Structure 1
Amino acid sequence: MSRPLSLSRRAPLAAVGLAAVLVLGACGSSSDATADLGGSKGSVAPNGITVNLTADQKRVTTSKVDAIAALVPEEIRKRGTLQVVDSLGTVPPLDFHATDDKTIIGAEPDLAYLIGDVLGLKVELNPVSWENVFVGLDSGKYDVGLTNITVTEARKEKYDFATYRLDILGFEARKGAGWKVTGPADVAGRTIAVASGTNQEKLLIAWSEADVKAGRKPVDIKYFQNSADYYLALSSGRIDAYLGPNPTAAFHAAQTGETKVIGTYSGAGDQVLGKIAATTRKDNGLVGALNGAINEVLKNGSYAQVLKRWGLSEEAVPSSEINPPGLPRTD
């Protein structure tokens, strides 16, 4: 969880405002692309479509583009594989295990395979814990991280980024909780769970500090590293809400009908439009090829098909950017 996400200008974004700002484009169709939006075993996604949860994904595909493939560093071209590092498969609909409990499926793997198609490379997914994503990128063990990584100014010192999705956070609470989150005052004195080492944590800490300065109670922050634990805490009433990636919160709420998203906010706070990006070690020469591949699938419509498949159309970007302004530094 840079797994951080984001969006917004000056104020927190409630559901209505979010929809207005985030419908940005990435439309169209492609004769090269194919998609299966259903399956014999499915689940309801946030937009109401049925998604295929089996190992037989029938993923969206597209064609190789030689001019973009030529941008890939020679070492990777000769190897013929793109080593993609992702999470452990526990963050639906971004990346999670299919019904066979082995195959990793979701929006992030789908995009990874599309990038591989354009670059003419075989994609190999490497699921690791969050902290090991960056260890593996630093060592060169993995070529690119595609696991909901937010662009930050601090990370730009060590990594290059090619953006592919807006970054939005969601507060998930029990249905009927009777409260909403639009800013720091709404979480004052509340018990909110978050994963450590994430941008969500930074945002929650900043909000708690703002509450204290305003004479309100601080946020009682609880830490959980996997979804099973925080959903158990939420259902038992030990926490009031969980702050995490909005796609995950919305997907879970749609599946269970027991929770709801009570507020959304930019993972980058109110200073910058947060963006999720393909992440690679700085100056290793790969970011141009990643940027080109993402812009190609944006143009040919296969990107839009992937986001629609997982209920993430409102988080589409109009184009991929290299190293845009990121989450500001904090002391």
Structure 2
Amino acid sequence: MQQGSHAFGAKICDTGHEMIPNVEFFFPGDNRGVLLIHGLTGTPQEMRILGKGLNNRGFTTRGVQLAGHCGSVDDLLATGWTDWYRSVETAAREMRGSVEHMFVAGLSMGALLALRVAEEHPDWVDGVGVLGATFRYDGWSLPALNRLSFLLPMLKRLGIGRDRMFMEQPPYGLRDENLRRKISEAMASGDSTAAGLPGNPWHSLAELYLMSRRVRRDLRRVVAPCLIAHATEDDIASSRNAELVARRVSGPTEMLWLDDSYHMITIDRERRRLIEGVADFFARVAAAGFATERAA
């Protein structure tokens, strides 16, 4: 999972350093590749249903695991946004060399990382799936985090709050109540490979906001077509995040608004609609030969 919450200042448990398991997934398909990117404190599992759905429609899909994720809190705190981006950039470089058309799609913070690849490597990326983009935690369930977020980079520079985190709280980005219960149980079990960490460390959130500024500044450099999918009642990131992308990127955009989901649109009630929307958009871009036209 990726979102923070209004439980301000809860202590981080000292979990120590352990070997981080690799829970990436890869589904081979045709010459159209899709790199899928999870969110902050999340796991590739939150992208797996989308990855399998796209693969069923012919695409080659890979769910990348960001540096420091799927381990302990200390593992995450040992990394920053440039480390997370390098994980994506490395995976994108590998995929670009093995497919004719490469697409990147990310959820929440993963959407920012997908946009960053498109900013930095326009010659690699044929299309972008911007899913629940989170430049700011300004959803209806996070009033405290929204008010205090601007302080986090300064607190990190001063070395304040390393042992603090915003704990996850219902609805956990999920409108589906049965799935919400299962995710809550998975987080409580302590297995971060299944549902991610139970909260967002202050210093990791500070890194997200530093990345957000950089990605937002360079959005005009995104020339690839973008499918921007967002829940109309997103509890974590308001629709203003999606509208920002649509307004600032240079490439063509399409909007997909989801009315029966919250933030975690890749696994919530309208996941099948999302799969169909992403598959259709990427298929149309590939068929139109965007990469060829761009190089001409």
TM-score between the two structures when normalised by the length of structure 1:
0.32
- Which of the pair has the greater relative contact order for Cα pairs under 8 Å at 6+ separation? 1
Which protein has the larger Cα radius of gyration, Structure 1 or Structure 2? Answer: 1
Of Structure 1 and Structure 2, the greater helix share is in 2
TM-score between the two structures when normalised by the length of structure 2:
0.34
